[in-house]
Chain A
Amino acid sequence: MNIIIVGDGKVGVALTEQLSQEGHDITVIDSNPKVLEQSIESYDVMVVHGNGASISVLKDAGVETADLLIAATSRDEINLLTCIVARKLGAKHTIARVRNPEYTEQLVLMREELGLSMTVNPEYAAAREIHHLLQFPSFLKRDSFARGRVEIVEVHVDEASSLAGIPLKRLYEIARVRVLVCAVERKGAVHIPDGGFTLQAGDNIYVTAEVRDLAKLIKNLGIVKQKVRNVMIVGGSRVAYYLAMRCLGAGIGVKIIEQDHDRCIELAGLLPEAVIIEADGTRQDILSAEGMAFTDAIITLTNIDEENIVIAMYAGHIGVPKVITKVNRTEYVNTFKRMGVDTFISPKALCCTDIVRYVRAMQNTTGGSVITLHRMVEGKAEALEFRASEATRHLGETLLDIHLKPGILIAGITHGARTVIPSGSDSFAAGDNIVVVAASGRPISDLNDIFAD
């Protein structure tokens, strides 16, 4: 497809990389020639220099024949204007990044009246993700499928874990609920395992399970962590605001440490139930004074990655049960994981995932389309949810008889209200939702792509 990306910032570059790899023809527009130069040297894309909201620049980029335009500049208003102009000039779909909380209420109106296909808000998505993690602090990451009935959770296998040294076919003896290990991250590489695969200490495993079994799973694996009742947030960014709203709504106490006086006043006005502290959250004495040692979770949301990581490392050292770190640059995440900071959130990557999911769904014509998509192990593997249709092959055959391509695994089947974590004797029918886990490198946009024949 012809895709135009306006704004070559963090999200723009992440999208450029992902979408160009998936075989789309990308044109990038930005007003800064330096960043464009970098894009053209790193990716197989075309670049246009100029203001993406202006007709002449959009025409230069070939907007008339574009299937999709994604406006991801730093300014909401420019993004909206770009999308409106692009629609008028003939772009088939438009996606705008809109992240000012003041516009949240009018998002639906804007989508309908301005003809936007989708709006994305990276900070909101990040807050949603963090809150999701706080509900089960034992997991490093949670992704839900089938309207929240199936989850893929990330669990760390340490020395003391009962899982270390266990081949996967004996997993049920320990877990005692139907679960499936669908991906294993070992020393930075990702494996899609089979029954003979043996877990080792140091692995991060991705497990599919039904939501109602999650609590039991945690108990049986012996990784119970205390429920989060209060959180400390360092940095009063937009993510902090969205997160505080959600936490307060769920009855979790919130303390926000923010340095900027005006922002503190603003937050205090917006979040009357939260405790707002005006101080430098990178200082150890402040963190101790505000009771870091007694908080259930600490979430570092300053705008500087380095500060976030240092605070997170310190918090891990003190023994805070759950530490979540926001990073903008994801390249170094693996290095930090080895240093004990385990849960990372990247607004950019989340936003990118949302858009890629939309693009794959657009591309799909046979009906077996992607409903949800989650990237795991820093994008080295993907979990995708499809709806099987009449056009899907191998309907009604047992999984034992179906040969999948290497590096692909069926991790869950939802039939009506019933969800199964599949074994060899299960099968699927048209209308079922199927969760597929695949090592990336070969984008899957259709359910039929997973079969070997």
Chain B
Amino acid sequence: MNTKMIARMLGVLFALEALFMMPAVAVCIVYGEMGAPMTGFLWTAALLALLSGGLMLIGRRATRDFYAREGFIIVALGWGLLSAAGALPFWLSGEIPHYVDAFFETVSGFTTTGASILTNVEAMSHGLLYWRSFTHWLGGMGMLVFLLAVVPTGQGAGYGIHLLRAESPGPTVGKIVPRMRQTASLLYKIYIVLTLICIGFLLAGGMPLFDSLCTAFGTAGTGGFGVKNDSIAGYSPYLQNVCTVFMALFGVNFSIYFLLLLREWRAALFDEELLLYLGVMLGAMFVIAVDVRPLFSGFGEAFHHASFTVSSVMTTTGFATADFNVWPQLSRSILCILMVIGASAGSTGGGVKVARILLLVKGLAVEVRRMLRPRSVNVVRVNRRVVRDEVLHSVNVYMAAYCAIAVTSFLLISLDDFSMETNITAVMACLNNIGPGLDLVGPTGNYAMFSPFAKLVLSMDMLLGRLEIFPILVLFSRHTWNRTR
């Protein structure tokens, strides 16, 4: 194992995080919060800089041996440590008194979950609120993808692919252009431009600048941290509609946008995953709108709230305009299913991913056909291309691991003696990076009442969900740390 390279990469990551805290310091200065919040940021940044320098010193003579193992370790360790460090400003400023709570909140931020332990968001200082939302934006596309985009990683080396694969969501991860650095910077360019457009639309609707920035970060990363206690419910319907549309847009595979830039209209618009994603989303919107019609003054209003909620839950954002916990059972069940399905592969959203569901369903159909005609040879095709057996296999293994983790976490947090619905949806909401679940963790509730142990379990679920399980599992494998492999 290439420990030096791992140290060097982590060093760069820490330096980037320290850098990314500077806008939050600027926000502190603008709002005159020169006391505890700002010193919290500055101390953290100084600590990060120190650590970063030390790690880079250790890794200064790193060799170029870099394989899948190193990629997994850097991603898993990197995300854990970034969250641990990102939690410091909350804790040092005293605005979140317990470190475990601060850690939960930051993991929730980086993994774009949006699950919060805060009971009164509006009491927080602006600098910390800004940092809380900004972690969504960073975690959405991923810090390591950013690293790949800005740091020259040496000519000819292929190791970027290991990082991209370990960090980016989806059953198959590939480049969109030959060079890793260009691929990463293209992804970020698309991401930044879409975020800016989103901010523009929010500002045009009369949202204050600070709220627009934070809301746009939450939308872009499909995170869901709001700056108001009632999430998005207090804003005008226009602003809510802007969020509906942009949440849905950020839940689309970013390679679709790349195809659109290339003017490959057919390939982009007839992508099977995109069609299924939009189909499920629109279908759910209509069914729920009809189902909740009696709760609202007319179908228009019902559809407005249904569409916002579906878009928010399916893309795993977690903003809320209405308390869907009190909706009829059919709607609640549909929302629970959407939580699991999640957004598209290669987007900023979480969940199992539409691409995997597509492969699972098609794989099942093929398997049934094989049972009827044992000698027939069948293949799964997506976008008129044959899907290799290894990919199908990895999707099945992923689902097995996913279920095992969900069950284990459910068991562990049941120690806290809350209702079954609370526990199940809390695990679902964290593992799929959504945020709000049902019952006590519903849109009006939060995670404050859980014990520190349960909070750590749920934090782990969020990381497992965002990194798609395997990097974290690798970290706990005995073989990973065995020098001779």
A interface residues, Cβ below 8 angstroms from B: 2, 17, 20-21, 23, 25-27, 33, 39-47
Contacts and interface: CB of A to CB of B under 8 A. Distances in A.
B156 A46 contact: no
Contacts of B157: 43-44
Q: Which 5 residue pairs spanning A and B have beta carbons closest together? A: A21-B156, A25-B178, A46-B178, A43-B158, A42-B158
B180 to A, nearest CB: 5
Contacts of B388: 33
Contacts of A17: 156
Interface residues of B, number: 18
Contact of A40 (B67, B158, B179, B181): B158
Contacts of A43: 156-158
Contact of B158 (A23, A25, A41): A41
Nearest to A42: B158
B162 A46 contact: no
Given A40-B161, A41-B67, A41-B162, A23 B178 contact: no
A153 B155 CA distance: 31
A45 B155 contact: no
Contact of A44 (B67, B68, B160, B174): B160
Contacts of A39: 158
B177 interface: yes
A290 to B, nearest CB: 46
B175 interface: yes
Contacts of A47: 174
B155 A23 contact: yes
B72 to A, nearest CB: 13
A192 B157 CA distance: 26
Interface string B64-100: 0001100000000000000000000000000000000
Contacts of B162: 41
B177 A46 contact: yes
Chain B binding surface, main DSSP class: loop
Given A20-B156, A21-B155, A23-B155, A41 B161 contact: yes
A46 B182 CA distance: 11
B69 to A, nearest CB: 12
Given A25-B179, A33-B388, A41-B67, A46 B174 contact: yes
Contacts of A26: 178
A27 B158 contact: no
A33 to B, nearest CB: 6
Given A40-B175, A41-B162, 18 more contacts: A2-B178, A20-B156, A21-B155, A25-B177, A27-B178, A40-B158, A40-B161, A41-B67, A41-B158, A42-B158, A43-B158, A44-B157, A44-B161, A44-B178, A44-B179, A44-B181, A46-B174, A46-B177
A446 B228 CA distance: 61
Nearest to B386: A49
Contact of B178 (A21, A33, A41, A45): A45
A44 B180 contact: yes
Contacts of B161: 40-41, 44
A13 to B, nearest CB: 12
Interface in B168-185: 174-175, 177-182
Contacts of B182: 25
Contacts of B156: 17, 20-21, 43-44
A23 B154 CA distance: 10
Interface string B350-392: 0000000000000000000000000000000000000010000
A21 B156 CA distance: 4
Nearest to A46: B178
A2 B177 CA distance: 10
17 contacts: A2-B178, A20-B155, A21-B156, A25-B177, A27-B178, A39-B158, A41-B68, A41-B158, A41-B162, A42-B158, A43-B157, A43-B158, A44-B160, A44-B179, A44-B181, A45-B178, A46-B175
Contacts of A23: 155
A191 B239 CA distance: 67
B226 to A, nearest CB: 40
Contacts of B177: 25, 46
Contacts of B180: 44
Interface in B122-174: 155-158, 160-162, 174
A21 B181 CA distance: 14
A41 B388 CA distance: 18
Contacts of B155: 20-21, 23, 44
A2 B182 CA distance: 13
Max chain A C-beta neighbours (<10 A), residue from B156, B161, B178:
B178
Contacts of A25: 177-179, 182
A21 B155 CA distance: 6
A439 to B, nearest CB: 16
A2 B179 CA distance: 11
A25 B186 CA distance: 15
A162 to B, nearest CB: 40
A45 B159 CA distance: 11
Contacts of A42: 158
A10 to B, nearest CB: 18
A137 B179 CA distance: 45
Nearest to A65: B262
A335 B314 CA distance: 59
A20 B157 CA distance: 9
A366 B181 CA distance: 28
A17 B161 CA distance: 16
A27 B174 CA distance: 12
Contacts of A46: 174-175, 177-178
B346 to A, nearest CB: 15
Interface string B98-129: 00000000000000000000000000000000
Nearest to A56: B384
Nearest to A39: B158
A17 B158 CA distance: 10
A103 B68 CA distance: 44
A17 to B, nearest CB: 7
Max chain A C-beta neighbours (<10 A), residue from B158, B182, B388:
B158
Contacts of B179: 25, 44
Interface in B30-79: 67-68
A424 B68 CA distance: 52
Max chain A C-beta neighbours (<10 A), residue from B68, B155, B177, B180:
B155
A44 to B, nearest CB: 5
Contacts of B158: 39-45
A46 B161 CA distance: 10
